[in-house]
Amino acid sequence: MKRLSMIFSVLIVLSMILTACTTPATPTEGPVAQAPATEVPAVEEPAAATEVPAAVEPAAGKTVLNVWSFTNEILTMAVAFEKTHPDVDVVYTMIPMTNGEYQTKLMATLGTDAVPDVVALEAAFVKSYVESDFLADLSDLMPYAKELKMYPFVYEVGTYDGITKAYAYQATPGALFYRRSLAKEYFGTDDPVEIQKILGDMDKYTQAAAVVKEKSGGNTYMVASNGDFMNLFYANREQPWVVDNTLTVDPMVDKLIETAKAFRDNGYEAKATQWQEGWFAGMNDSLVDAEGNPKKIFSYFLPTWGLPYVLAPNATSADKSTTTVGDWGVIAGPLPYQWGGTWLGVMKETSKMDLAKEFVRFCTLDEENLTNWATGVYTNEYLKAIDPNVPDSQYQAAGDFVGSQVVVEKILPSFDNSEMSAFLGGQNSYGGFAAAAPSVNARLMQGSDDAIQRALNDPLNSYLEGTVTLDEMWQLWKDAVRNEFPDLDIP
Amino acid sequence: MVRSKINHNNTGYWFIAPFVIGFLVFGLYPVYNTIALSFTDTTLMKADSNFIAFKNFERLFADKTFLTAIKNTWTLWIMNFIPQIGIALLLSVWFTSNRLKIKGGGIWRMLFYLPNLLMPAAIAALFFSLFSFYGPVNQFLVRGGYIPEAVDFIRSPSVMRGLVVFIQWWMWFGQTTILIMAGMTSISLSLYEAAVMDGANTWKMFRYITAPLIKPVLVYVLVTSLVGGMQMFDIPMLLTDGRGSPANSILTNNILMYMKFRSSQGHIGAASSVGVVVFIMTSFVSLLIFYLLREKSDEKMAKGN
């Protein structure tokens, strides 16, 4: 009997082990060290509420449209949509993606009848959905996109095999932000046109880094971390990571490794970590090294959302003693790239295909809506007039960079005197992005990019520190990729 | 009597039914499902899946990363378990000792247990900030003249491993102490009194009275810690980039499983195979512990009979 009960209890313990094994206890996507850039705006957006999930009860007698997203941003447009479509009730569900809850929840509902009609998809995972069979074909909305002159990369991301399945209301081209006072000191000018000439390509950027180091006596770094410029190289490859199911390395990636090595060995980068203290401290001149010597950062690579949500809020130090407000300039930078963004797609199984399509069209391809969105028309009072139940924190401030060239050109002058333009020393904040957007290309983007690129971070840093050789670095990276993509051919 | 009309013989089954049902649904079924999944190439992003027999396992063992993860998990667990059980035994002896008579035992016990209540995410974020390149540890060491220039601790495999071991130890030694103390206080005082009469010293009392009598508790602590250790996840996951960096030094079994699960396709078939191997490994070692630390007296009695 004793033996029997022993065996039984052992079995219970063992089954508990395995149960716990199969369900990762805390699905935590956002790693502390290299938090995916794109998650940050989700956190800092003024409209983002904290309660989850914020589903609203459907009203009687109206057609219900289920929309899922990972921020409260699209709720603003959902309310505006109800104004023009009074017979529709948009039931909005917000699930945060800070720790990957949104992606996990969405993946888990695929193929069940719990799927929503419309889904918001973030840059890191939009492509895996576009490549899958779960999204409906939205190609018939393309005429609207052409009419509004959508930036090509915006719909390229939503396109796979010639079929467009997702559109975005915003475009997120990247730019280079630099310190005007430091530019004057080291290059004799702070004029964006002149600075763009000095930093016009990656070799020039590296040469300028040497000038910055020499003239500052090593107290100003060209860039805070090597993670800053990785996106630029990835965005300018000529082949995707996966060609015919084979892992492929473009020469641009070799160039990235070379550049990162040069920056590390020559002391052009501050060895900070993106999204960590040192990186933020550089934005407001409060960075000090371990001995207490003040250090400065000359430039940051950030996209559209980086200006209002990352750079501006961090430009004044926590104790208000140092500030860099008004001391920034923006240029297209050495290479065109794009970073982050939210796309909208329709689930194939929806029973309200026409309405769901109309919702996507309204949010992403409607001139009036995009204009209202970017110019601050959607105030809290405006939304409350449509639906009194809208939370007090719900509104859209002016300044989001929209995906339509027609709208951008129309509203560009209205930003001459905006708060963000004052932050940039009078330079039109919208103008910098408008210059950068047309040359961005996202044709090579694939669903596996995010994981493959992340897998390179650790081996690359080991190589920069000199703990592994270049060959060992590639081997470590391939092992890490194989681990996440068992079906991929890795040479 | 009227009461006897109702048959109470089967009432016991009703009482154990909730457990049995819960066990079947939440215990046994997931086990079955995991094993079944591990033989397929199921992903979350595709509707269909194929039976691929042992392919997942072949890939796993051909993959150096998996062997690294197993090695790491064992290293991290053993390095935190040895000091954990050592300190817990020492503290338990002190706090249950009749000679020392330490006051406020309850308060101490609570203080030892407190770290266990903290959120792992907060602890990991705290240690990450402390040890970052521009963090306070570097400032203190450089300004105090202990090291010539700032060290990138976050990129140092030995420092990061040490931190994981320390945090795990710090979070769990209180729990172990409480369990061992409970075992020690249940030992009859008369045994110690008799030993003192016979002139035994503290060490001899520990060796010949305490140690044998708390063996069941030790087996329990060892096995539960092993089970927990083989599934070590939150601290190493949150401390660095969630991929076991630097140089895979804190990549554990469960981080590896989670990486497969959350890859862009959601490879749950491949992730299950990791779970199955960890299950087999943990079961085997647990049974070995039970076998090695079994009650020898049972056997003697059985032989005698």
CATH number for position B77: 1.10.3720.10
Chain B residues near residue A127 by CB distance under 8 angstroms: 264
The answer to whether B27 contacts A19, with C-beta atoms less than 8 Å apart, is: yes
* Least Cα separation, residue B236 to chain A (angstroms): 10
Give CA angle at A460 (B152, B265), nearest 5°. Answer: 115
Structural domain including B77 reads 54-304
Q: Confirm whether B24 is domain-assigned.
A: no
CA–CA gap between residue A299 and residue A128 (Å, rounded): 32
Instruction: Please state the φ and ψ torsions of residue A96, each to the nearest 5 degrees.
Output: -70, 155
Do B27 and A108 make contact, defined as CB atoms within 8 angstroms?
no
Tell me which amino acid residue A256 is.
Answer: L
Measured in angstroms, the CA of B283 and the nearest CA of chain A are apart by 6
**Closest A-chain CA to B229:** A17
Q: How far is B262 from chain A (nearest CA, A)?
A: 8
**Chain A hits for B242, Cβ within 8 Å:** 28-33
Quote the CA–CA distance of A395 and A381 in Å, as a whole number. 9
Report helix, strand or coil for A301: strand
For tokens 């020559």, name the residue. Answer: A266
Burial (CB count <10 Å: 0-12, 13-18, 19+), residue B72: buried
- pLDDT value of residue B298: 55
Residue A3 lies in a domain: no
Residue with structure tokens 């969105």? A373
Phi, psi of B206 (to 5 degrees): -65, -45
Residue A439 lies in a domain: no
List CB contacts (< 8 A) between A32 and chain B.
124-125, 128, 238-242
Q: What's the N-to-C CA distance of chain A in angstroms? A: 58
Tens of pLDDT along A216-228?
999 999 999 999 9
In our burial notation (b when 16+ CB lie closer than 10 A, e otherwise), range B227-237 reads bbbbbbbbbbb
In a domain, A8, yes or no: no
Closest-CA residue of chain A to B273 = A22
- Taking only the tens place, the pLDDT of each residue in A269-310 is 999 988 888 999 999 999 998 888 999 999 999 999 999 889
- 């010539």: which residue's tokens? B148
Q: What is the CA A396 to chain-centroid distance, rounded?
A: 18
Contact across the interface for A484 and B263, Cβ inside 8 Å: yes
B17 lies in some domain: no
> Is position B27 within any domain?
no
Closest CA–CA distance from residue B196 to any residue of chain A (Å): 35
pLDDT in tens, B4-58: 567 788 888 999 999 999 999 999 999 999 999 999 998 888 878 889 989 999 9
Same domain, A296 and A215: yes
Longest Cα–Cα distance in chain A: 89
The answer to whether residues B210 and B88 touch, using CB atoms and an 8 Å cutoff, is no
Divide the 491 residues of chain A into consecutive groups of 10 and give the mean pLDDT of each group. 48 47 37 36 37 50 91 92 92 86 86 90 92 92 94 92 94 94 95 94 95 94 94 93 94 96 95 90 92 93 91 90 93 92 93 94 95 92 92 89 94 89 90 88 90 93 94 94 89 87
- Whether residue B241 and residue A457 make contact (CB cut-off 8 A), yes or no, is yes
Dmax over CA atoms of chain B, in Å, equals 91
**C-alpha to C-alpha distance for B263 and B270, rounded to whole angstroms:** 11
| Residue with token string 């105090």 | B144
Interstrand relation of A328-331 and A174-179 (parallel, antiparallel or unpaired) = antiparallel
The answer on A305 and A452 residing in a single domain is yes
Residues in B touching A281 (Cβ below 8 Å): 134
Q: Is residue A210 in some structural domain? A: yes
Q: Which residues contact A22 (CB under 8 A, 6 or more apart)?
A: B30, B31, B33, B34, B272, B275
**Beta bridge pairs of residue A159:** A164
User: Which residues of chain B make contact with A30, given a CB cutoff of 8 A?
Assistant: 242
Binary contact (B149, A290; C-beta < 8 A): yes
Q: How far is the alpha carbon of B2 from chain A, nearest alpha carbon, in Å?
A: 36
For residue B295, is it within any domain? yes
Q: Are A24 and B254 an interchain contact pair (Cβ–Cβ within 8 Å)? A: yes
Distance CA B110, CA B97 (A): 18
What's residue A47's pLDDT? 38
Query: In terms of CA atoms, which chain B residue is nearest residue A100?
Result: B262
Q: Do A486 and B267 touch (CB under 8 A)?
A: yes
Nearest to A277 among B129, B258, B276 (CB): B129
Please indicate whether, in this complex, the C-beta atoms of A483 and B65 are within 8 angstroms of each other. yes
Return d(Cα A98, Cα A239) in angstroms, integer. Answer: 31
Contacts of A39 in chain B (CB under 8 A): none
Residue contact A273–B266, C-beta within 8 A = no
Angle of CA points B252, B257, B263, to nearest 5°: 125
> What is the per-residue pLDDT for A37?
37
Residues A292 and A273 in one domain: yes
Contacts of A364 (CB under 8 A, 6+ apart): A167, A168, A169, A344, A370, A403
Q: Residue A19 falls within a domain, yes or no?
A: no
Please indicate, yes or no, whether residues A191 and A130 belong to a single structural domain of this protein.
Answer: no
Count of pairs with CB atoms under 8 A, one residue in A, one in B? 210
Number of structural domains chain A divides into: 2
Q: Is residue A22 part of a domain?
A: no
Looking at the fold, whether A329 and A181 belong to one and the same domain comes out as yes
Residue A45 φ/ψ, nearest 5 degrees: -60, 135
Interface probe for A, chosen from B29, B243, B249 (most Cβ of A below 10 Å), is: B243
Separation between Cα atoms, residue A116 and residue A202, nearest integer Å? 44
Which residue of chain B is at minimal alpha-carbon distance from A112?
A: B47
* B152/A24 Cβ within 8 A: no
- Å from A189 to nearest chain B CA? 31
Which tokens is A15 given?
Answer: 């089954």
* Distance separating alpha carbons of residues A47 and A109, to the nearest angstrom: 27
Write out chain B residues lying below 8 Å of A7, CB-based. Answer: none
Strands annotated E in A108-185: 118-122, 159-160, 163-164, 166-168, 174-179
- Determine, for residues A17 and B283 on separate chains, whether the beta-carbon distance falls below 8 Å: yes
Contact B46 A273 (CB under 8 A): no
Nearest CA in chain B to A107: B44
Interface test with A, best of B255, B263, B301 (most A CBs within 10 A): B263
Residues A191 and A278 in one domain: yes
Tell me, yes or no, whether A416 and A475 share the same domain.
no
Residues of A in contact with B33 (CB under 8 A): 22
In A304-434, the DSSP E strands lie at 328-331, 342-346
CA distance B226 to B223: 5
Cβ neighbours of B128 in A, within 8 Å: 32-33, 276
In a domain, B21, yes or no: no
Reduced to 3 states (helix: H, G, I; strand: E, B; else coil), residue B59 is helix
Contact B241 A32 (CB under 8 A): yes
Identify the domain boundary among A393, A416, A434: A434
State whether residue B49 is helix, strand or coil: coil
Is B142 in Cβ contact with A290 (below 8 Å)? Answer: yes
Cβ distance of B242 and A461 shorter than 8 Å: no
Question: Same domain for A479 and A383?
Answer: no
The position carrying tokens 């393309």 is A142
CB A66, CB A40: distance < 8 Å = no
Q: What is the ipTM of this complex?
A: 0.85
Residue B39 lies in a domain: no
Please indicate, yes or no, whether residues A223 and A151 belong to a single structural domain of this protein.
Answer: no
Give dist(CA A474, CA A253) in Å, integer.
11
- At residue A40, the pLDDT reads 38
pLDDT under 50: residue ranges of chain B: 1, 304-305
- Residue A135 sits in a domain whose CATH number is 3.40.190.10
Q: Which residues of B touch A445 (CB under 8 A)?
A: none
For residue A124, give the chain B residue with the closest CA: B264
Q: Between B45, B133, B290, which is nearest A128 by CB?
A: B45
Q: Do A100 and B26 touch (CB under 8 A)?
A: no
Query: Rounded distance, CA B238 to CA B30, Å?
Result: 26
> What total of structural domains would you count in chain B?
1
CA A48 – CA A71 distance, rounded (Å): 6
A91 membership: H or E segment, kind and range: strand A88-94
Give contacts of A486 with chain B, Cβ < 8 Å.
41, 56, 59, 260, 267, 270
Give yes or no: residues A252 and A352 share one domain. Answer: no
- Give the domain range for residue A387: 39-172+339-434
